Amino acid sequence: GGGADAGTVVVPKTRPKTKRPNMYRVLLLNDDYTPMEFVVHILERFFQMGREQATRVMLHVHHHGVGECGVFTYEVAETKVTQVMDFARKHQHPLQCVMEKK
């Protein structure tokens, strides 16, 4: 008990200091021009996917308009988006990659 009576030892309640970081989805958007093989390469190169998973994600984006590449902390997600956008621009493809808070 934390009463103010004489002789009572007051122990402050503590909370575990560990808190979950905000997490962000990195998404690829479909377009009519970026080659399917290029998108598969992006998923293998920047998101460490094998050929089969990369192909599944690419086809999901192709058919549904948007798809998830992964979920990351803010800094990592931002880095992925920049890497993908720079690589697509370098190859003159209109591929769009975005992040959103989960």
Residue numbers of the site for ligand TYC (CB under 6 A)? Answer: 28-32, 34-36, 39, 58, 61-62, 95
Q: How far is the CB of 60 from ligand TYC (least distance, A)?
A: 8
- Which ranges constitute the DSSP H helices of the chain? 36-47, 51-64, 74-90
Coil, strand or helix at 30: coil
Q: Give min distance, CB of 75 to ligand TYC, in A.
A: 23
Residue 38 contacts residue 95 (beta carbons within 8 Å): yes
Cβ closest to ligand TYC, residue 24 vs residue 54: 54
Rounded to a whole number of angstroms, the minimum distance from the CB of residue 67 to ligand TYC is: 7
C-beta separation of 81 from 42 below 8 A: no
